[in-house]
Every structure is written in structure tokens, then in C-alpha cells.
Structure 1
Amino acid sequence: MADTQAKGLDWLLEPVTEDTPCGPDLEIEGADRFIDYYYEAEARMPERYFTPGMAGVAGSIDRLFDPKSINLRTETQAITALLRETRDLRLLSLLARFQVLAARPAEFADSLQAMAALLEKWPDGVHPTTAGSVSERRAALDELGSIKTVGMPLQYLPLAGQTDATYRRYLVATGQVPARPDEEGVERGAIVSALAQPSNEKQVERLHGDLGRAATALNAIVQVCASGGTTRFHPTVDETLQTLTGMQQLLQEARPNLSLWSDQVSPPIEMDGDGAEAPSADAGPSMQAASAPVVPVQAAGAISDRAGVRQALEGAERFLARNEPSSPALLLVTQARLLIGRPLIEALETLLPADAGRAVIGFTPESGFAVAMERMKKLSDSALGGFEDSAQPDDAPPAQPLVLTSRSEVAAQLRAVEEFYAAKEPASPIPILLARARGLMDKGFQAIVAELLPKPEAKG
């Protein structure tokens, strides 16, 4: 079934026209049909997959994203219509996220396979191209590593058609993530037993295959990007790869006859003297193509505390200061570091100096309550514990400086910090600063000037 579904996107490997196989870049052309749909669809992506209820507020409950809220048929039709005109990774990345949010792993794998095949067939032609900068392509592919729109949906995906058998619950049962109140008492044995039931055999095997296809395709995407000559980069998708692999390992635990995706891939890609992929006489793009497992470039891993945040940002700042001192990303990373552990008031005054004084915490109109900026400052100064990180014990060894050697490694660390704040301190502006920094890292001087000094709109 999975293979049949994959063939449904084979038409993407046919050229749009003989002269322009990938068609035009509809964004560069300013096509309203692309711009209106794409950016509106991106804005509809959930800000978080799990929203905790407010403690002490009656009627406030935890909320989990509902896969049924995605109208996948409508989104697929809109994206497919655009893909008939252009071969664009941004559209396929968007489609893949809609599919996994809708709990459709087979279709998710299909889209990743299509992306890998397009990159292999037209590495320089598929949009957005890397001519001048890899930032647009990197941004489209980095979204496949998003925890809130890819990682969390995978974790909560029912593994045997039952919501009590998920990878998330397995992580809780094995102590890899802390349990929420409704997850207390989850047992590993019960999850594995449910997956091992004979009645679930076909469903588990089908899901195992879909997860393997997705992981293999995502790995192939990284391989192609990492061997792109002067434009090579490493998409920040390591956490998604780890999640897909972990899910397959869980299914393998229940059914030992199943094998992991990484056991079925081809031998490592041979590299020439310049570090580029050596050509193969019979190599060709395929929706089913398999590449050797990628060794992550300075895999960021999960950051668990502010000390890890500081180490990551200092490493990124050090690399940029030494190697790219003219990059505006350096300024944003420095500002992010200075806001570690700082209160809301300071963030507002730093980032919104002209408007901070008008900030007010409002309540319901009936109450008439309001906490104005001056009062917020006093409350901020009086907050228990202060805002500085606790000092290390005298006998604690100094933190080992993080040495980064490329923009790809910097981007991976910034992404890890963003995910830490998304999970631990969503009110912090640090993720916004770092996301902007990542977007600026690969831009040239003229593009930066155009953003920093936008031309005034013509009157009349």
C-alpha cells in the first residue's frame, strides 16, 4: 500500500517544460496565487501542539492539537495545483507538515520521498534554488525538524489505532520525558503488549514501513544538501530522524521480525578529494531511493536547562564573531544571550523601546482590572528569586566551551535553543530573535541592506 501511495507523486519528476524543468519560482515572480496561499497556510500552522491549562483557573484544561482540525483534502488540492506549475520544496514541506499534523504517516512519507527525489534529480533547479544563498532552501527543509509541527505529531500518533499506544507514552513509561498528570502510571509493558497483539500485526507492519520510508527519505535529503559543493549545508532535522528511528525501535521491540530503516540503506556515499559526492554511473532519482545514514553535523541534542542555552549561544556567538563579524546574526545572537533569564519588562524595553511604556496586562472588560507598565516594573523587581541564573558551586568544573566550525552547526544550536524555550518558557522572545538570526546567516550584503533599510513606498 505504501509503495502504491508513493507512486502518486511520481509526476513531480516529470519536467514542467523542456526549457524549465522545475518551472518558475512563483514567489520571485510575485504570483498572487502562490503568495496568498502559501503565507496564509504557514500562518495557520499551530503555535504549539500541547497547551497546558492554567493552574488554579476553573474550567481550564490541557489541550492537545486535534488532527481532525486539518482539512487535508483542501490543503492537498491547493498545493497540488501549485506544484503543477512549479517544483517547489516549500510547498512539499508545507504539505508534509499538514499530513503529519493530520496523523497521516503514509502521505507524510510520500511527500518526503518526493522532496528527496526532486533534490537528487534537479539539485540546482528545484525551488527555492541555492543561487546566491541557501537560506530559503534551508528554511523550507528546517521546518521538517520542527518539534511542534512534526516531532510532537509523530510522538502522539496512535501506533495501533489506539491513543493509549503512542511513542509519547512510551517515552513517559521509560523515563525519557516527564509525565503530565494524565500520564501517571503509564507502563511500558502495556504499550509493547498492545503492539504485539496478532490483531494489530498488519497495522503495525504498515506503520513501520511508513516510518522507515520517511526516515530514509529525510536522511537522503540531508545527504544531498550536505554534498552540494559550494552550497552545501546541513538541514536541522536530526530530532525528527531520531523520533522516527525511536518509533521504529519501539515497533521492533514488539515485533522482532521487523528491521530498522538504517539497516536497509546503501553503503556510505563515496566522497572525492574535494569532499563532494563521487558520481555513480547508474545512479538516478527514485521515490524509493535509500542513502547511507547521516552522521549529524554537531548534533545539537536536547537542551535541558539555561546553562545549556548559554553554552549553545556562546558557542554560536564565538563562531560568528571570529568568522563572520559583519553578519547581523551575530547581533541577534548576542541580544538573545543577554536576555537569558531576564524578565518580561527588560525584554519589552529592549525590543520595543518606543512602545514598552504603553504595555498593559488587561483582564475582562467587566472587571476593569489592569496592570500598567510602572506597576509591572515594581512587581518585576519584587519577584521572588530574582532573574539571574543560580551560581555554580565552587567545586563545580567550568562548562566546556562549545566549539562550532560551520554555519550549519550554528543553525543546529540555535534551533535547539528555540525548541528549549518553546517547551520550557514560551513567553521568552529569544526564539524569535534566533529564528531571525538563522534567516539572515546566509544572506548577502545587498539583501541585508534591503531588509535593514527598506525603500519607502512610492506615493500616489
Structure 2
Amino acid sequence: MPIDTNKLLTPIEGDNPCGPDLRYDPDYAALMELAKGKPEQEIIEGSGPSATKTIVPGEEPSWSEVKRGCEALLGRAKQLRVGLYLAVALIRLEGYPGLAQGMTLLHGLLEKFWDNLYPELDTDDPANAALERVNIIASMATTPDSFGDAVRFQNRILEAPITESVQAGRFSLRDIERAAKGEPAPEGQQAVTPALVDAAFQDTPLDRLQAIAAAATTAKQKLQALDTLLTEKVGAGSACDLSPLKRLLTTAEKTVGEQVAKRTGAPAGGEAGANGAPAGPAAGGAGAPPQAALAGEVRNRQDVALALDKVIRYYQNNEPSSPVPLLLTRAKRLVTMGFFEIIQDMTPEAIPTLTKIAGAEAKKA
């Protein structure tokens, strides 16, 4: 069941819009323990040559319980780590639509509650004030299955189904990768071949494929917005590298988008719109045929903002590590401002001098 993002992003009543610190609350501790699941265990019986080793498989958490626990805690306090675990639970329960909701929530928590969000900013260390928050976000892009990959965020995405065929089955990016490489399926799982994957895509209802494509696009856009916001808040040198996660979401978007294009006859693009079809000419990759995306003259500020949006989308889709979108996003914010508003935004310390020279009435103009 989808979450109510607006409700979860509603400020807590009282002096602090993020509520109390729940780090030492028993419900918070219980949720953190629940979200771990049960790790794989190795049991050795006996000693010497006659010793036997038994591997007890790990167990996933009850993600529905994790989801309920996260929603309850976010209703009491705004905690970024709780938001992260809710995003993981949504991926496991609802696949790509859940991922889109989770990324929307994480971006909303950072954007709306930056000053008071938990974990709190470290006022004693201004240079690393947001380090805990940055580390939480960075965990989404940790190398899969590495020692530090505690939440297995990218693995959850790789395992999320992108086909939903009654006849052929539900397959994920990981299944498709194994099929392309000719790798055997894990023990107890169905062997997957490229032909079977194609059949599954063809048998998946078109509206479902379009919904998955749109969700992958939304997730990527929210991740880019989150990355931009974090860089603005802490600086490029202190932000984290989210490019591995961006590449994964781009792969998902492209894989499903190509299948939608096959079914609809529309050209495949890098960015899917609400119906799963390409959102516009700027969504194409570097190898896409030229399109008249920016035809005509720029006539007003709205045209300027539209042109900047298209340039930003190009970089987000094709050069996700480029800092250009960050600069253009700020430039777009200035488009509708007056002269004094722009100076206030860029160099507020110059306002008194300008006011003294131009007069108070000029500031109102």
C-alpha cells in the first residue's frame, strides 16, 4: 500500500517541527533491530578433521512491519535514517513505484526540514556539520555486497521486478543480467534466458510497464534533486558520490523504456513521462537523432526557464556527474527575480551599499 508522503512530511506540532530526538526511544531501537533481519550464521560442530560446518541462511526482515514502524516514528519525529529504511521497505514491497515514493520522501525530508532534521547538525564542527546525514545518504550508493553495504540499497533495486508476466514470470535487472551473461540461476530459482525475459516483457501489461518506467524516471529525478540539494547545503567537497546509484536508475529506466517503445511504436528516450513514453526531445541520449527541441526564439522568461530545464535534463540523463545542472538550477531560480532580489540571493552583503547609492525606492522597484 502506498505511503502518504504529504502526511509524513507534515511538521510536528510544537516548537520543533521535527519533534523530539528518538535516538534513545525504545521504539526506535526496536525498529533498527527489526530492519537488520537475521544474518547468515555459520555453525561448526565438533573439532579437528571430524568437525562439521552448517550454514544457516539469513532471513529478511518483515518489510511490512518495518514499513509500519517507520511510518509511526516519522509521525512522531523527522529522522533521516528512518526515512531510509522506509525507502528500502517500499522497494521490497512495491518495487519501482515504492522506490519513487521513497526517493520523494528522502528528498522532502532534507529539503523541508534541513535545519532541524535528525540526526542534528553538529554545531561544534561546522566543517562537518552534516556528516551523519551525508553518510546516511551515501549508504544508498555503497558498492553492492561490500563490507559497508549494510542496507543493500542497490541490491534491493537490482532485485525489484521489472516484468510482471503471469505466464513467463517476474524478472529483475539482476535476472536480466544473469540471462545476458548465460550465468546459472541461484539454487532453487528458475533458470532465466534472454528469450524468457523477452516473453515476460511482452506478456507484462503495457500499463504496468509504463508505470514502472515512470517510477524509475521519478526516482532518478528525485535522486538528482537530492544530490543537488545536498551539494548546495554542504559543498561539493563534503557531499557524497551518488553516481553509482544514478547509473543503476538510468539502466532501469532505459531497459523498461525500450520495452515500452517496442510495444507502443514510440521512440525510446532516456527519460520516461507519466505514461512511460519519452518525456521530450531533451530526454534522448548522445546518440539520439537530432530533434527540434529548442526551435524558435526565446521570447520571455518562461521560455528561458524552459530552455534551462531542457539543458538540465540533458546533463542529468547523459552526464550525471557534471556540476553544470547545479549551476543552471541556481540560474533558473534567478530568472523570475528582480535586480535587488538577485543581488540579495548572490551577494546579500552588497545590499546596504546598493541601497545607499540607489535609494530605498529603487530597492522596491
Q: Same fold (TM over 0.5)?
A: yes
Tell me the residue number matched to 1:261. 271
Aligned pairs for 1:281-430 within 5 A = 293=316, 295-296=320-321
Provide, for residues 88-125 of structure 1, a one-character-per-residue CA deviation record: whole Å limited to 9, x for no partner.
Answer: 11101011112223453322321210110221223222
Is the CA contact 2:119–2:132 (under 8 Å) kept in the aligned structure 1?
yes
- Tell which has more relative contact order, 1 or 2 (C-alpha 8 A, sep 6+): 1
Distance across 2 between alignment mates of 1:103 and 1:80: 16
Tell me the residue number matched to 2:68. 77
Is the CA contact 1:192–1:250 (under 8 Å) kept in the aligned structure 2?
no
1:200 aligned onto 2:205: yes
Q: 1:38–1:238: structure 2 CA closer, same or farther, 3 Å change rule?
A: farther
Tell me the residue number matched to 2:247. 242
Question: Which one of the candidate residues 172, 176, 200 is aligned to 2:178?
Answer: 172
Is the CA contact 1:225–1:234 (under 8 Å) kept in the aligned structure 2?
yes
Q: 1:41–1:264: structure 2 CA closer, same or farther, 3 Å change rule?
A: farther
Tell me the residue number matched to 2:13. 17
Is the CA contact 1:252–1:259 (under 8 Å) kept in the aligned structure 2?
yes
SS at 2:205's partner residue? helix
- TM-aligned CA deviation for residue 14 of structure 1: 2.1
Distance across 2 between alignment mates of 1:205 and 1:62: 40
Distance across 1 between alignment mates of 2:15 and 2:56: 53
SS at 2:77's partner residue? coil
When the two chains are superposed, the root-mean-square deviation of aligned CA atoms in Å is 3.9
Distance across 2 between alignment mates of 1:113 and 1:45: 29
| Paired residue type of 1:86 | A
Question: Which one of the candidate residues 142, 150, 153 is aligned to 1:150?
Answer: 153
- TM-aligned CA deviation for residue 232 of structure 1: 6.5
Tell me the residue number matched to 2:100. 109
Aligned pairs for 1:177-188 within 5 A = 179-180=183-184, 186-188=192-194
Question: What is the percentage of aligned positions where both structures have the same residue?
Answer: 17
| Paired residue type of 1:170 | I
| Paired residue type of 1:76 | K
Tell me the residue number matched to 1:134. 130
Q: 1:240–1:26: structure 2 CA closer, same or farther, 3 Å change rule?
A: same
Distance across 2 between alignment mates of 1:144 and 1:205: 25
Is the CA contact 2:40–2:55 (under 8 Å) kept in the aligned structure 1?
no
SS at 1:227's partner residue? helix
Provide, for residues 39-83 of structure 1, a one-character-per-residue CA deviation record: whole Å limited to 9, x for no partner.
Answer: 3134327679xxxxxxxxx9x9997x88xx542332222212211
Tell me the residue number matched to 1:32. 26
Distance across 2 between alignment mates of 1:167 and 1:95: 22
Is the CA contact 1:234–1:297 (under 8 Å) kept in the aligned structure 2?
no
- TM-aligned CA deviation for residue 15 of structure 1: 1.6
TM-score by length of 2: 0.58
Question: Which one of the candidate residues 96, 104, 112 is aligned to 2:87?
Answer: 96
Distance across 1 between alignment mates of 2:7 and 2:237: 27
TM-score by length of 1: 0.47
Q: 1:79–1:166: structure 2 CA closer, same or farther, 3 Å change rule?
A: closer
Tell me the residue number matched to 1:372. none
Q: 1:230–1:248: structure 2 CA closer, same or farther, 3 Å change rule?
A: closer
Provide, for residues 101-152 of structure 1, a one-character-per-residue CA deviation record: whole Å limited to 9, x for no partner.
Answer: 3453322321210110221223222222333332311222122224352222
List alignment gaps of at least 5 residues for structure 2.
Answer: 42-51, 146-151, 273-277, 283-304, 306-311, 324-365
Provide, for residues 321-360 of structure 1, a one-character-per-residue CA deviation record: whole Å limited to 9, x for no partner.
Answer: xxxxxxxxxxxxxxxxxxxxxxxxxxxxxxxxxxxxxxxx
| Paired residue type of 1:222 | D
Q: 1:74–1:165: structure 2 CA closer, same or farther, 3 Å change rule?
A: closer
Distance across 2 between alignment mates of 1:81 and 1:202: 32
SS at 2:114's partner residue? coil
